[in-house]
């Protein structure tokens, strides 16, 4: 089976469109039949489904109603430091270049304006952005103060050099209303266990280093919550004590005071922490998981609400959920087990997702409270087995632990989330791939619209070819990217080969010889500025074997804008016909012989790009006729003579596409279907 597309808009097989009569009929009916516009309200209720490509691998995804319009937006951070804000329908609102890897990012409200701000940390800089993407301020973070003698007798550069020797990163930044005035401050947690609190202008309010160690990573994490219901938030701060060789949990108020006289000891390393409304009237308790497999539930007074629950395997994820008014604590383990706990500590259910117990739960996310057994309660990100580089699976579990849907190998970053972005009771799933995010509308239950695997090109695709190259009954995928790289992928998402011929790959086609050998025709283009500041264009016809090795290459002094691979001479091997941006057409044999060339340039004028090429049969002599579209003109090109191309039709708007038809009627039969803007026209073979 062979599929391909010279451009991303359509699929070709060896240059011919399949099932064209049906396609043409459907397109014609779509154009001719009147449609009644829907009311605006009805259009607004249609579930959104979109895809956004980030500039690099995605490192952070935050879902939040930034502009307070009742619908969540998406803050996307890439590994090159670029931050994008997307609307609920995936439209890019703004983009901010932070310039380096973003260590932490969050949304908060630092003033009386209802719209939120965005704080981020990159390259030791704490930066605050407005909801419109404007930088409000940026300060340098100092997790460790240089020694006083160094500051007294050396320059500031020496202080920075001293600080650079300590590899201290920011682990979390969280909004924290430390004084209860309704405006957020920002608390920063460093990898060495230090806490710093900053006000709305970036000024340091206080710094806590009681639990910090300068040269050790203390495996830190924190949770902000109002645990005692006094409308003042507390900071629950967990860290591993390398001296005692167990973890400790501190509870700190907004004035940097420890609420507990002694930290709460937690055996082993703390691996997850969350809050769950298991107290009276929905008051919050701290749920803490450890690598030793224990789950601790602790209240504001440092009392254990439960005796620790033991799952015997490292806890990798904790989150709160709700089903029919009953709060639940959901826990995931290193061996693919998900457990739902009730407030009294009993298990509601246990789900073992991996029979071999060799895949970890990476993340658990919940959305709105579930009310129906067929609704998803939690989205589970299931990691690959140790030693595998496959992407994560995403599974949707219902409230009774029934598996609703599995999306295999779709999450590359561990950032996929179950959402209800407009609080309408209908779920969405945000899939995070390598460098793309994709929003799926689930409605009630689930829908099977996730692909089987994902692969990042690190560049925008320019052309795609789908062919069963090895005749094993399974198609392979060849993708040409705009950065000049050619990717060959098999059904298992493995890259069989990757070559970099250069330029901008705009077209791909299959060339199959009379002997049955398959080759790949690659069209590459390049536009540069010469020494005379004039634009210089070049195109290449590049023919490659199915292993990526180049067989031959033919340069042209213009960008190539169209491609047709077809047997026009009835000699067995197909020919390669290309149209250029300057209005010329060239034909080459499969062995790199130039057969002929034609020009569509008007006399004394500049040619327009040849955008479409189509081969039809002449009813006059049964010889093939090449039909070429250039701008708003349609030409008939005789290939076995020296006659100049004949203009057969002119339209008021540029031609978008042309299709060949086979209908009865001889000379008067409609043989061509031509699409321009808002118009479809049928023509005879003479035009």
CB 629 within 8 A of CB 648: no
The secondary structure of residue 161, as a DSSP letter, is H
- Asked whether residue 354 is domain-assigned, the answer is yes
Among 123-132, 136-145, 678-687, which range has the highest average pLDDT? 123-132
Whether residue 37 is predicted with pLDDT greater than 60 in this model: the reply is no
What is the pLDDT confidence band of residue 131, given thresholds at 50, 70 and 90? Answer: very high
Q: Which residues does 483 contact at the CB level (< 8 Å), separation at least 6?
A: 458, 459, 504
pLDDT for the residue numbered 476: 86
Distances (CA, A) of 160 to 110, 145, 154, 157, 523: 29, 10, 11, 5, 51
**What CATH number did the domain enclosing 362 receive?**
2.40.128
Separation of alpha carbons 552 and 540, rounded Å: 10
- Asked whether residue 347 is domain-assigned, the answer is yes
Taking the model in full, what pTM does it have? 0.59
- Asked whether residue 407 is domain-assigned, the answer is yes
Among 62-71, 102-111, 404-413, 651-660, which range has the highest average pLDDT? 102-111
Q: Which residues does 611 contact at the CB level (< 8 Å), separation at least 6?
A: 561, 562, 579, 629, 630, 631, 654, 655
pLDDT tens profile 283-319: 999 999 999 999 999 999 999 999 999 999 999 999 9
CB 218 within 8 A of CB 191: yes
Percent of the chain with pLDDT over 90: 48
Q: What are residue 362's phi and psi, to 5 degrees?
A: -85, -40
Instruction: Give the side-chain half-sphere CA count within 13 A for 621.
Output: 6
What is the pLDDT confidence band of residue 447, given thresholds at 50, 70 and 90? Answer: very low
Q: What are residue 16's phi and psi, to 5 degrees?
A: -115, 140
- Asked whether residue 373 is domain-assigned, the answer is yes
Q: How many domains does the chain have?
A: 1
- Asked whether residue 600 is domain-assigned, the answer is no
Percent of the chain with pLDDT over 70: 83
- Asked whether residue 634 is domain-assigned, the answer is no
- Asked whether residue 455 is domain-assigned, the answer is no
pLDDT tens profile 558-604: 999 999 999 887 778 899 999 999 999 999 999 999 988 988 877 66
Q: What are residue 157's phi and psi, to 5 degrees?
A: -65, -35
- Rg (Cα) of the chain, in Å, rounded? 31
Structural domain for 351, as ranges: 322-448
pLDDT for the residue numbered 411: 87
- Asked whether residue 425 is domain-assigned, the answer is yes
pLDDT tens profile 425-445: 788 888 888 888 888 876 543
Q: What are residue 666's phi and psi, to 5 degrees?
A: 50, -125
Q: How many other C-beta atoms are found inside a 10 Å radius of the C-beta of residue 682?
A: 14
């Amino acid at each position: 089976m062979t599929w391909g597309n010279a451009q991303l808009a359509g699929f070709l097989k060896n240059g011919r469109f399949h099932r064209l009569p049906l396609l043409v009929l459907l397109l014609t009916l779509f154009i001719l039949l009147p449609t009644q516009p829907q009311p605006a309200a009805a259009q607004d209720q249609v579930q959104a489904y979109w895809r956004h490509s980030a500039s690099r691998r995605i490192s952070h995804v935050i879902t939040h109603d930034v502009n307070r319009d009742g619908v969540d937006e998406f803050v996307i951070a890439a590994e090159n430091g670029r931050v994008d804000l997307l609307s609920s329908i995936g439209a890019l609102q703004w983009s901010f270049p932070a310039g380096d890897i973003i260590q932490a990012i969050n949304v908060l409200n630092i003033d009386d304006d209802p719209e939120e701000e965005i704080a981020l940390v990159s390259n030791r800089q704490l930066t605050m952005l407005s909801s419109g993407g404007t930088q409000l301020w940026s300060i340098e973070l100092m997790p460790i103060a240089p020694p006083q003698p160094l500051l007294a007798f050396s320059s500031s550069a020496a202080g920075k050099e001293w600080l650079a020797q300590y590899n201290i990163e920011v682990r979390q930044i969280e909004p924290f209303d430390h004084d209860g005035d309704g405006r957020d401050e920002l608390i920063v947690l460093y990898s060495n266990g230090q806490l710093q609190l900053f006000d709305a202008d970036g000024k340091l309010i206080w710094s806590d280093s009681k639990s910090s160690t300068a040269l050790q990573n203390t495996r830190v994490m924190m949770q902000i919550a109002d645990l005692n219901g006094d409308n003042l938030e507390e900071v629950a701060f967990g860290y591993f004590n390398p001296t005692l060789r167990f973890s400790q949990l501190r509870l700190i108020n907004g004035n940097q005071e420890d609420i507990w006289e002694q930290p709460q000891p937690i055996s082993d390393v703390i691996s997850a922490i969350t809050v769950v409304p298991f107290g009276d009237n929905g008051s919050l308790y701290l749920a803490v998981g450890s690598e030793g497999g224990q789950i601790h539930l602790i209240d504001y007074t440092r009392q254990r609400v439960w005796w620790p629950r033991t799952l015997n395997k490292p806890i990798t994820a904790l989150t709160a959920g709700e089903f029919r008014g009953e709060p639940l604590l959901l826990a995931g383990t290193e061996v693919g087990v998900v457990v739902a706990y009730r407030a009294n500590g009993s298990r509601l259910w246990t789900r073992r997702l991996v029979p071999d117990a060799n895949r970890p739960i990476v993340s658990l996310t919940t959305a709105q409270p579930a009310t129906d057994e067929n609704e998803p309660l939690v989205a589970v990100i299931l990691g690959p087995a140790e030693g595998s580089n496959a992407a994560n699976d995403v599974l949707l579990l219902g409230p009774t632990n029934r598996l609703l849907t599995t999306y295999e190998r779709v999450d590359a970053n561990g950032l996929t989330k179950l959402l209800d972005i407009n609080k309408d009771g209908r779920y969405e799933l945000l899939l995070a791939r390598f460098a793309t995010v994709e929003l799926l509308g689930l409605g009630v239950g689930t829908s099977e619209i996730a692909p089987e695997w994902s692969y990042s090109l690190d560049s925008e695709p320019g052309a795609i070819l789908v062919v069963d190259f090895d005749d094993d009954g399974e198609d392979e995928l060849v993708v040409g990217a705009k950065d000049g790289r050619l990717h060959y992928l098999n059904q298992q998402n493995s890259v069989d080969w990757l070559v970099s011929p250069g330029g901008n790959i705009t077209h791909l086609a299959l060339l199959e010889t009379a002997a049955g050998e398959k080759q790949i025709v690659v069209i590459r283009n390049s536009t540069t500025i010469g020494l005379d500041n004039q634009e210089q264009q070049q195109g290449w016809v590049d023919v490659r074997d199915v292993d990526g090795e180049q067989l031959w290459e033919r340069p042209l002094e213009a960008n190539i804008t169209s491609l047709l691979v077809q047997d026009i001479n009835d000699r067995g091997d197909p020919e390669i016909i290309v149209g250029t941006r300057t209005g010329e057409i060239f034909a080459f044999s499969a062995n790199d012989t130039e057969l002929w060339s034609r020009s569509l340039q008007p006399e004394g004028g500049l040619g327009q790009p040849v955008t479409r090429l189509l081969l039809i049969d002449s009813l006059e002599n049964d010889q093939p006729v090449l039909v070429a579209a250039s701008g708003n003109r349609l030409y008939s090109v005789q290939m076995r003579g020296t006659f100049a191309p004949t203009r057969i039709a002119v339209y008021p708007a540029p031609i978008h596409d042309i299709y060949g038809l086979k209908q009865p009627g001889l000379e008067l039969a409609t043989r061509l279907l031509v699409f321009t803007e808002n118009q479809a026209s049928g023509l005879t073979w003479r035009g």
